[in-house]
Structure 1
């Protein structure tokens, strides 16, 4: 098997480190403002964007790349907080839909008031608009055409 060139290995290491560093800073900002983690925000945003504010757990899992057991526990906590609710899937009693509630929509909006400025602070101030587009384009290559 062929070893990757050093430049590719460096890019990989920096990609992972940069992602962890920025996400960690944003998580700290959210926590400092009394909000839950980015995972909560991601689920709420996914549901908000969905038709009728609903998705199956599998759709959420696929979109956000959660492990099923982690998502189940997260949804349990979010449901206990009144942010989402489980409703029966039409025509299939074994399945369910997760629906965002009004409280969930409000929390997602409030979290964005910290999250959006944090993205600007930790990412946006480091890149011009053209550089940000270029970075997004390069990262898209890693994700594939369907993402």
Structure 2
């Protein structure tokens, strides 16, 4: 309780929160626009491909994928439907229990991710990293980790 009263939401806290939201929205909109223009891939689809590429056997249960990309289960299902139609992922029953469904990154999906990663990484540097100095990066990492914890 003491921590809550110490960090009461004040006008300055609200201003910082709004600035954070505007900064996040500005960067993500720019990254999304570049991925769509250059790769015909949304930022959410790119994120799904990244999560699958980093998973063991390039495979995740749909529930794990939804948690990893911070989309609803129905949102991930619709997105995976689209990615499956264009051959970037496949879906199959989970062998261990027969009830769950998993998404797996295909070779075509991995190739598409490699191409899109160049666009995305250049955008992250241009719209994010180049705008921050070393102290900003250290502070932002510390703050972000605190928010996650």
How does the TM-score come out when normalised to structure 2? 0.90
Question: Per-residue CA shift, 1:83-112, capped at 9, x if unaligned?
Answer: 000122113222121110001111111111
1:130 is displaced (CA, Å) by 3.4
Partner of 1:56: 61
* Equivalences for residues 59-78 of structure 1 within 5 A: 59-78=64-83
* Cα distance between partner residues in 2 of 1:60 and 1:121: 28
Select which of 109, 132, 139 maps to 1:127: 132
Aligned length: 144
Give the aligned partner of residue 119 of structure 2: 114
Q: Aligned with 1:92: secondary structure? A: coil
Question: Which structure 2 residue ranges, 5 or more long, are not aligned?
Answer: none
1:137 aligns with one of 137, 142, 148: 142
CA distance in 2, matches of 1:76, 1:54: 15
Task: Provide the TM-score with structure 1 as the length reference.
Answer: 0.91
Identify the match of residue 46 of structure 1 among 47, 51, 71. Answer: 51
Quote the Cα distance in structure 2 between the aligned partners of 1:101 and 1:135.
35
Deviations 1:24-64 (A, max 9, x none): 01111112214210101100110111011110000011111
Show the counterpart of 2:107: 102
Does residue 14 of structure 1 match 2:54? Answer: no
Q: Could you tell me which runs of 5 or more consecutive residues in structure 1 were left unpaired when the two chains were aligned.
A: none
Q: Please give the alpha-carbon distance, in whole angstroms, between the structure 1 residues aligned to 2:96 and 2:42.
A: 34
8 Å contact kept, 2:39–2:116: no
2:35 pairs with 22, 30, 33, which one? Answer: 30
